[in-house]
């Protein structure tokens, strides 16, 4: 084993840095740094997506004929790490990382030609319609009906926890097209224009004070059957592929380190204002433990993700990465609150110049969701017990 970069990997890293120097503006970095919720607002992520698109680096994992880069797993790790450490905005993943790969795998040629270019250009902003009030960890129990009517489906029901539905013009959704047989075999994967009559988006106020997620209601919403991906009642395969692809795509360590930098910067900021943070031995020790945790997470992620061949999925071990990434996120955010001490009592949402302090409390509050969404920690533990431990 060794971590030395080959000349080609080193040259690639220099290319990424040069690109970041030329394209990552102060406004974009600031937009990301001030984001306490999961994804930055479109005015931050949009311009960054376009810069990546111009460079040809927006969809590294797609097939090269559709804009993929053909990078090795180590190149992707370098790219994601450099972008995150430089403070680049997170690209909104719903199009490029979630629905895009599903359309590539299961969509018709016509669907590919219609949707993929619009995903890349950012013309379509996507949201995900999976969870329902009665279907969370047990996703297959979803009930939202799609009843065939001529060339359309008529949709009735609701989706919940829909991130950025208030920004999106398109939704990919799992809908129930049959109530016969196994629950998984009556689900279809549908693309829905959010401007269709009968769709209502209601905001959900969340713990950190951000408007991130929504409830979306469907009343007699007419969607062409041509918008279905894959066969009717075969949507569960699309969903499984999407989740698998998502697992094979996530590189979290750079983003987590970027979050830690905010906490470290807070230490500097507080000390500059006369607070003796480093004098608190307990806090110093906790800082050391969180740093050690993150260093090890980074090594674990590199060893697992960096060893993948193109198109290969890490398999069930990705549940360990997901579990640890979500807990790391929470541990760093908690450290941020501990650094703040009594200053955490001050509820301030508005940014004050370059200060990182206002974002720390909302970041901690929002971090609690990380062990809940995308497969709760308990779901991951179940997978790890069965597939890794083998019980």
Partner 1 sequence: MLLSLTELQEMIESSVLEFLANEYDFIKRARSRDADDGIAPQVWRAFAEMGWLGLPLPEADGGIGGRAMESGLLMRAFGRHLVVEPYLNAVLLGTRLIAEAGRAEQRAEWLPDLVDGRRRVVLAHDERGVADPWSARSTRAQEQGNGFRISGAKAIVAGAPGADAVLVSARTETGGLALFLVPLDAPGVTVEACRMLDGARAADLRFDDVQVERAALLGEPVDASEVLGRILAEAIVSECWEACGAMQAALEQTAEYTQQRVQFGKSISSFQVVQHRLAEMAVCCEEALAACQLAVLSIERDPTSAISAAAMAKSKVGRGARFVAQEAVQLHGAMGVSEELPVASHFRKLLAFAQGSGGTAHAGQRYGELMLLSDAWRYSRTLPSLAHA
Q: Give residues in contact with partner 1 (CB under 8 A).
A: 1-6, 9, 13, 17, 20-21, 74, 78, 81, 85-86, 253-254, 257, 260-261, 264, 267, 278, 281, 284-289, 291-293, 295-300, 302-303, 306-307, 317, 320, 323-324, 378, 380-382, 384-386, 388-391
Beta carbon of residue 50, minimum distance to partner 1 (angstroms, whole number): 21
Please state the closest distance from residue 349 (CB atom) to partner 1, in A. 26
Is the separation of the CB atoms in 105 and 279 below 8 Å? Answer: no
What element of type H or E holds 293? Answer: helix 281-305
Shortest Cβ 381–partner 1 spacing (Å): 4
Comparing CB distances to partner 1, the nearer of 240 and 278 is 278
Q: What angle do CA 249, 374, 157 make, to 5 degrees?
A: 125
Between 41 and 338, whose beta carbon lies closer to partner 1? Answer: 338
CA–CA distance from 59 to each of 91, 263, 376 (Å)? 10, 30, 27
Distance CA 194, CA 291 (A): 43
Sign of CA dihedral 224, 192, 245, 77: positive
Beta carbon nearer to partner 1, 154 or 308: 308
Compare residues 9 and 269 and give the one whose CB is closer to partner 1.
9
Listed in sequence order, the residues at least 6 apart from 297 whose beta carbon sits closer than 8 Å to its beta carbon are: 252, 253, 256, 324, 325, 328
Q: Which tokens in the block code for residue 274?
A: 């006369």
Backbone φ and ψ for 166, nearest 5 degrees, come out as -75, -15
Q: Which is nearer to partner 1, 5 or 207 (CB)?
A: 5
Tokens for 290, please give them: 């969180």
Q: How far is the CB of 315 from partner 1 (least distance, A)?
A: 13
Beta carbon nearer to partner 1, 43 or 295? 295
Smallest gap from residue 5 Cβ to partner 1 (A)? 6
- Least distance between partner 1 and beta carbon 27 (Å): 16
> First CA to last CA across the chain, in angstroms?
31
């Amino acid at each position: 084993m060794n971590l030395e970069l080959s000349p080609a990997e080193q040259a690639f890293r220099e290319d990424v840095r040069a690109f970041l120097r030329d394209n990552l503006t102060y406004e974009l970095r600031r937009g990301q740094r001030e984001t306490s919720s999961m994804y930055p607002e479109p005015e931050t992520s949009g311009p960054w997506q376009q810069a990546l698109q111009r460079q040809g680096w927006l969809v590294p994992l797609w097939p090269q004929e559709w804009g993929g880069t053909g990078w090795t797993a180590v190149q992707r790790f370098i790219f994601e790490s450099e972008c995150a450490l430089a403070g680049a905005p997170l690209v909104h993943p719903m199009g490029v990382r979630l629905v895009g790969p599903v359309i590539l795998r299961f969509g018709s040629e016509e669907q590919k030609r219609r949707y993929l270019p619009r995903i890349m250009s950012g013309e379509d902003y996507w949201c995900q319609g999976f969870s329902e009030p009665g279907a969370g960890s047990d996703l297959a129990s979803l009930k939202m009906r799609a009843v065939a009517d001529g060339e359309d489906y008529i949709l009735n029901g609701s989706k919940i926890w829909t991130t950025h539905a208030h920004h999106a013009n398109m939704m990919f959704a799992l809908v129930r097209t049959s109530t016969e047989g196994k629950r998984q075999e009556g689900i279809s994967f549908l693309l829905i224009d959010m401007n269709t009559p009968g769709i209502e988006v209601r905001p959900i106020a969340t713990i950190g004070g951000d408007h991130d997620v929504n409830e979306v209601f469907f009343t007699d919403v007419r969607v062409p059957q041509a918008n279905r991906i894959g066969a009717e009642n075969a949507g569960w395969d699309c969903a499984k592929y999407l989740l698998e692809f998502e697992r094979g795509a996530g590189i979290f360590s750079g983003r987590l380190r970027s979050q830690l930098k905010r906490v470290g910067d807070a230490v500097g900021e507080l000390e500059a204002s006369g607070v003796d943070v480093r004098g608190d031995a307990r806090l110093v020790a906790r800082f050391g433990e969180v740093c050690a945790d993150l260093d090890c997470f980074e090594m674990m992620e590199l060893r697992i993700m960096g060893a993948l061949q193109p198109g290969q999925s890490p398999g069930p071990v990705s549940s360990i990465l997901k579990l640890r990434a979500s807990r790391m996120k929470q541990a760093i955010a908690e450290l941020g609150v501990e650094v703040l001490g009594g200053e955490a009592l001050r509820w301030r949402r508005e940014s004050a110049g370059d200060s990182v302090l206002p974002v720390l409390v909302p970041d901690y509050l929002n971090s609690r969701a990380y062990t809940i969404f995308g497969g709760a920690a308990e779901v991951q533990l179940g997978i790890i017990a069965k597939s890794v431990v083998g019980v």
